Amino acid sequence: MRARKSIAVYCALAALVLCGGALGVVGGTTDTGHPYVVAAFGPHELCSGALVSSTVVVTAAHCYSGTLDGDTVQITLAPVVHPAGEFVATGPTYPGKIHRLEDHDIAVVVLDTGIQLDHYADLPASTGLVEKLPSNQRVDVVGFGISAIKSGLQTAFGTKHVTSSNLATAGVLSGEFVKVVTGPCQGDSGAPNLLTGTNTVLAITTYSNGNPNCNGDSYSERLDTEAAEAFFRSYR
């Protein structure tokens, strides 16, 4: 069984299951330094992503399990609220079309209208970058998922937070995932795992160990693979 198919065990409902937390954005801080990190949402799902150009958002494919390639997804840079059981952006939204990389948890949203920023996230400059990194490489993880848990209740999601963590020793799994040491939480699937101090997206948050307290390890799909590089080439 391919690794991507095993993700379905963890990711039955994409956004508000314990799948692809933002690697410890619980306990993180409000983010102001990564303008290209966005929320990708529908009425009943909330995920995160990163603009790698004015019209292309990189996110997690499992967030959109109920849609077909070419279906519309909403993107926003604004906080997202959840009144009356549906997710609603508090600022402008930008519709785009979803496209997935087959057998991987990687997708892009191609926007109908571009979002103009001073700079965007960078994709890895070369394949195999993970293998060249030092042990316990630091990563900054930025997402719109749950940022606080009080009395066992998951609260305070929908605003952009950042935290710093590190790749686990021997954290490469089947050449497709990296393991990140800290607690994942809902709504952060697709959150960019940035090499600390850079705008380079090493991986995107994919799934966790299912811990409801958001204090377990998380696994992120690498973007420095040959499959990912070939996929992104079509959207640059």
pLDDT in tens, 131-142: 888 878 899 989
Q: Which residue, 202, 154, 161, is CA-closest to 180?
A: 202
207 CB-contact burial (10 Å; exposed 0-12 / middle 13-18 / buried 19+): buried
Give the pLDDT band of residue 219 (cuts 50, 70, 90): confident
Judged on CB neighbours under 10 Å (0-12, 13-18, 19+), 209 is: middle
Helix (H, G, I), strand (E, B) or coil at 5: helix
Query: DSSP secondary-structure letter at 134?
Result: P
Q: How much is the pTM?
A: 0.86
Q: Is the predicted pLDDT of residue 148 greater than 80, yes or no?
A: no
Instruction: Kindly report which listed range (1-5, 59-63, 154-158, 199-203) carries the lowest average pLDDT score.
Output: 1-5
Q: What is the mean pLDDT of the chain?
A: 81
CB 66 within 8 A of CB 100: no
pLDDT > 60? residue 4: no
